[in-house]
A and B are shown apart, each in its own frame.
Chain A
Amino acid sequence: MTLADTFHLSFKTVLSYRLRSVLIILAMTLGVAAVVVLTALGDGARKYVVNQFSSIGTNLLVVMPGRAETSGAFPGAVLGQTPRDLTLKDAQLLGRLPQVRRYAPLNVGEAELSATNRLREVTVLGSNADLIPIRHMKLAQGSFLKRGADYSAQIVLGSQLAREFFPNTPAIGQRVRLNERRFLVSGVLAPQGKTMGHNTDEIVIIPVEQAQSLFNTTSLFRILVEAKSHDAIEPAKQAILETLKQSHDGEEDITVITQDAVLATFDRILHALTLAVAGIAAISLIVAGILVMNVMLVAVNQRTSEIGLLKAIGAPAADIRFLFFAEAMWLSTAGAIFGFLLGQLGSLMLRLAYPDLPAWAPAWASIAGILVALITGILASILPANKAARLDAVQALSKK
């Protein structure tokens, strides 16, 4: 029997057991679609986080007080040792390093923002003019902590705050108070929404010296540093560690994390998560494979006398085996194709429902889903196909 005839004959069989075929194909379809959609979701989440994290800066290094226990990205202070504070002087030292393009000291706190008849609690960032370019923020109006006569009274409002406090008048030049201190609005941030969990639309930014005195501290929360290039990130990190070690009397009591390293970590974790999810979805394909096996075994039973007839008219065992293989291949191929299409449709709907989420199934996942479907289908047919091929012709013929 030729290959073409084998596939043609088994295709007719698939068509004539319609309900059975539809159910198997459905099980396969759902399994493959699950792999495609879930990996689209996982990989979309990975890309989303990576994009978000990339958008907060370029070649960014973050200096924080205290030493990381391990070389990992997340610091924890060594037990029993109070780390020395980061100071403005430290920040200025870093600004002079050759690998560093610019830096921004950072203080964070809460304060009460008030104007004529409004008052609310806001997050206050204390920094310098370079915070804007380092953090890839944009100004909608005005200017940002420009050195000048009124430098120390300047305040920049998040877009939402500007709208709330000055709904009808331009915010620039208006007077506001932060815990009784007077400020003049010098700029308004462009709306950005949430990045990495912070809503920059509801913050205010003031000069770092003012923030220190507002919060009654001489220390800094962080120093943000932008390296001159991607290649300068590692040298910059070493130089920063070295510089601050000297300035802290030989004590290595700070941690420098690079955006790159954090990004790589996120990327790795979320990629592993996607793989795990794909693996779980693939289990449904194995279940579908077991279903195929069961249904094919039933088919061999049902068609016993037909198999006997085929033997009587001269079909060798190999032909009969391949007929059942081919049948399983039709079923699992159809399942794989429909599953792939359904999965793509599902990913499209995800993207429509969540435009921020780049939910595209990675090629490897689609290919793996299809291959696993085909392979389980074929593996599942081995046992039934062999059973059919080995049937005793006389006994098979005598079965009703």
Chain B
Amino acid sequence: MIQLTGITRIFHMGGQTIYALNRIDLEIQDGEYVAIMGPSGSGKSTLLNVIGLLDKPDSGSYRLDGKTVTDLSEAEQAQIRREKIGFVFQSFHLVPRLTAAENIELPLILSGLEPSERKLRVNDALRAFDLSDRATHRPSELSGGQRQRVAIARATIMQPTAILADEPTGNLDHQIGAEVIALLEHLHQTGTTLIVVTHDRELGDRAHRQLMLRDGKIITDKKHDAG
């Protein structure tokens, strides 16, 4: 469970103070499907990064699964990212030197798993995301949809409790984007918390809960049941 209380994130730009997040209070239960929407610059990415422990709030407290994580050490926060959170980015962020399989394997390497165990899990993931025949291809040899599938496979290989996706379809055409969303929603159906930042109204409506941000504040928080 994600609990944010009074989270504020400030940026200073040329003498100006920007409240990217302004005293945000937010609670997200395990297994929810949340869309974060709002105009450009409203703080959507910043909110996602704070939830994913990539960014530190300037004030406020963040409890994850009942434990305050805001004052954890850098290494402890890294461990939480490794074990509980999977990021999916608009621009995929694959390592260009590594093959699809090696990219998917990275989180397993970081957590120090045995190579034999890693191989099993990577092969399972390749099959699950229909990438088996692309295993030895570099990102430059893959289509946009395939790249995002590799990125999602990488985000889920550690079986995180939450997937955080920042405009995952932003660089994909409509059809491929829909396939990627279907994949993410499938993961949600298996119990993973899914938080998606999107500009796309239609896409946002598919989520069971919509957060609308403006100027670092949540202005609406709508829930409707699945289906």
The residues of A with any CB-CB pair to B shorter than 8 Å are: 1-2, 5, 9, 12-13, 16, 305-306, 308-319, 393-394, 397
Nearest-Cβ distance from residue B108 to partner chain A, whole angstroms: 10
Contact (A393, B55) CB under 8 Å given A306-B95, A316-B74, A317-B75: yes
Residue of B nearest to A15 (CB): B97
Contact (A16, B154) CB under 8 Å given A315-B110, A316-B78, A394-B54: no
A1 to B87, CA, bound (A): 19
User: Are B89 and A397 within 8 A (Cβ)?
Assistant: yes
Q: Which of B81, B95, B106, B112 contacts A2 (CB 8 A)?
A: B112
A101 to B78, CA, bound (A): 83
Is B111 in contact with chain A by the CB < 8 A criterion?
Answer: yes
Enumerate the 5 nearest inter-chain pairs by beta-carbon distance, A residue then B residue, closest first: A314-B82, A316-B78, A314-B81, A16-B97, A316-B75
Residues of A close to B154: CB separation below 8 A: 313
Contact (A319, B87) CB under 8 Å given A13-B97, A312-B93: no
User: Are A305 and B93 within 8 A (Cβ)?
Assistant: yes
Nearest-Cβ distance from residue A291 to partner chain B, whole angstroms: 22
DSSP majority for the A interface? helix
Nearest-Cβ distance from residue B224 to partner chain A, whole angstroms: 31
The residues of B with any CB-CB pair to A shorter than 8 Å are: 49, 52, 54-55, 74-75, 78-83, 85, 87, 89, 93, 95, 97-98, 106-107, 109-112, 154-155, 158
Contact (A313, B97) CB under 8 Å given A1-B112, A5-B112, A318-B75: no
A312 to B55, CA, bound (A): 10
Residues of B close to A1: CB separation below 8 A: 109-112
Residues of A close to B82: CB separation below 8 A: 313-315
Q: Which of B49, B55, B89, B107 contacts A314 (CB 8 A)?
A: B107
Q: Which of A16, A312, A397 has the most chain B CB atoms closer than 10 A to its own CB?
A: A312
A308 to B49, CA, bound (A): 12
A185 to B54, CA, bound (A): 100
Nearest-Cβ distance from residue A226 to partner chain B, whole angstroms: 73
Q: Which of A2, A12, A308 contacts B97 (CB 8 A)?
A: A12
A-B contact pairs, 7 of them (CB 8 A): A1-B111, A2-B112, A312-B87, A314-B78, A314-B83, A316-B79, A397-B93
